[in-house]
Amino acid sequence: MIELTAGEITRECGGHMTSGMSNMTAFTGISTDSRTTNVGDLFIAFPGAQTDGRAHIEQAVDRGAMGIIAQPDEAFPFLKTIPEMYTHITLIEVDDALKAYQDIARLIRRKTEARVVAVTGSAGKTTTKDMIASILSFTGPTVAASGNFNNELGLPATFTAVEEDTKFIVVEMGMRGPGQITELMTIARPHTGVITNIGDSHMELLGSRDNIAAAKAEMAEAMTEKTTLVLNSDDPYTPKIKAKTTATLITFGPAADVTVGDIGLDEMARASFTIRAVLAGQPLEMPVTLPVPGAHNVMNALAAAAAALSVGAAPSDVIAGLAAVTPSANRMAVLVNAGGTTILNDTYNASPAAMEAALATLAALRGSRKIAVLGDMLELGDISEAAHQAVGGLCAANSVDMLLVLGDNAAVVAAGATAGGLAPGAVFAPQSLEEACEILKRELGEGDVVLVKASRALGLERIVECIK
């Protein structure tokens, strides 16, 4: 972590230092979990109804924490003992521990000279973030968000990993409502922003795709004329988003500033293609082969290339970085079990667009039978029934041989599948994950390909565990 002193942090957070050896005390890291606190860390004790970090301050001190940030509360007497019994421990009392955490991230952002890239969008943002980070890692030391650390807690966590020699920081921005991306932008202040697309994720929370677009466009509104915004030329909301920003614009897509040609898929549905762009007036051609399956990842790769080039990556870095990308866990992960069945694990989350992409990938993979294990897509609100019925239709259109459906919308997906032409005898509706596992263990064989996908809350990764 970039060196931060107790005095700097206290001033930044608007806190009050009630214990400690010196304002010049420096911390080696930031911890928000007492179980993983290291010697020299500053431990931030978040309040909470179920788990309150202040109840674990003593454990953090025992593990070597040299500083504590906490909101005072009579219910946690250990806080009172620190000034007298642990005079070497810096105690900074604040009104809001979460805001203090975010303020520390803002302080790090001001102190670092690293170039910052931020990614948002309805689908593909984590994969795009992973691709950008992979490319930039060939250019210089890079810190990237772990998994989908993309909210008011996850984004500050990424900044606390920044070191003095970090050249690039890649963050992801999620949202559950209006104003949230605006707040995250005040922390990250990216040199380059990316909006992958506008879709139906969080429809239940925001009510319409127009509202989703407005929330995502908060990134564009926060960008200045000194920054760059990367937009999807194929997305119908792009013209409206363009009108909301003064940033330099780069588009990606079939007909855009960064475009693609010569697309082909191998037997594992991995795409090979040529990225075409113009950099400093010079036309570029970058032949790329992705190690991850899915034709939809071509668009993610174009977005990643555009963003990386904008902050200084060389074309050779784009080629090498995309060839070496490792996606975050449970996202289009391919494995072959001992029985010769290929498993496509895409269990992290699900939306209508992501389901369509996953089923198209299943269809493109070479195999004797194509089997889909699908669960609910959550947070779709009024469009939920129609969206789940459409997924069933996509199963039939993509020639799925066997379909297992789980969750509250299982019957709707099944009805869509049979209406689309899938034989009723090929559709199963297990009542539990355990029953689904038993069916799969009985049915799967060598050469079969099985897709497992649903929203995260359904826990379908447990099915992957039982059949892998």
Reported as a single tens digit per residue, the pLDDT across 194-227 is: 999 998 888 888 889 999 999 999 999 999 999 9
With CA atoms as reference, report the closest residue to 117 among 191, 179, 46: 191
CA angle 259, 286, 258 (to 5 degrees): 20
462: its two tokens: 């447990």
4-97 and 112-323 share one fold: no
The values of phi and psi at residue 171, to 5°, are -120, 160
With CA atoms as reference, report the closest residue to 278 among 257, 308, 256: 257
Distance separating alpha carbons of residues 173 and 126, to the nearest angstrom: 9
Would you state the pLDDT for residue 328?
A: 86
Distance separating alpha carbons of residues 129 and 325, to the nearest angstrom: 10
Question: What is the DSSP secondary-structure string of 345-402?
Answer: EE-S---HHHHHHHHHHHHHS--S-EEEEE-PPPS-GGGHHHHHHHHHHHHHHTT-SE
Domain 112-323 annotated CATH 3.40.1190.10: yes
Given a cut of 90, whether residue 147 has pLDDT beyond it is no
> End-to-end distance of the chain based on CA atoms, in angstroms?
38
Neighbours of 415 (CB within 10 A): 17
Based on DSSP, count helices (H) and strands (E) in the chain, helices before strands: 18, 22
The pLDDT of 87-104, averaged and rounded, is 96
Residue 258: DSSP 8-state: B
With CA atoms as reference, report the closest residue to 184 among 147, 213, 221, 211: 221
Question: H-type helices in 189-262, by residue range?
Answer: 203-206, 209-216, 218-222, 238-242
The CATH code for residues 4-97 is: 3.40.1390.10
Domain ranges across the chain: 4-97, 112-323, 333-467
Given a cut of 80, whether residue 87 has pLDDT beyond it is yes
pTM of the model: 0.94
Given a cut of 80, whether residue 392 has pLDDT beyond it is yes
Reported as a single tens digit per residue, the pLDDT across 236-246 is: 999 999 999 99
Could you tell me the pLDDT band of residue 396, with boundaries at 50, 70 and 90? Answer: very high
Could you tell me the pLDDT band of residue 118, with boundaries at 50, 70 and 90? Answer: very high
The pLDDT of 72-80, averaged and rounded, is 90
Reported as a single tens digit per residue, the pLDDT across 399-447 is: 999 999 999 999 999 999 999 999 999 999 999 999 999 999 999 999 9
Residue 176: DSSP 8-state: S
CA angle 52, 57, 61 (to 5 degrees): 160
With CA atoms as reference, report the closest residue to 124 among 393, 348, 451: 348
Give the full edge-to-edge strand order of the sheet including 192-195. 142-144, 168-172, 115-120, 192-195, 228-232, 248-252
Given a cut of 80, whether residue 129 has pLDDT beyond it is yes
CATH topology of domain 333-467: Protein-Tyrosine Phosphatase; Chain A (3.90.190)
CA angle 238, 243, 245 (to 5 degrees): 100
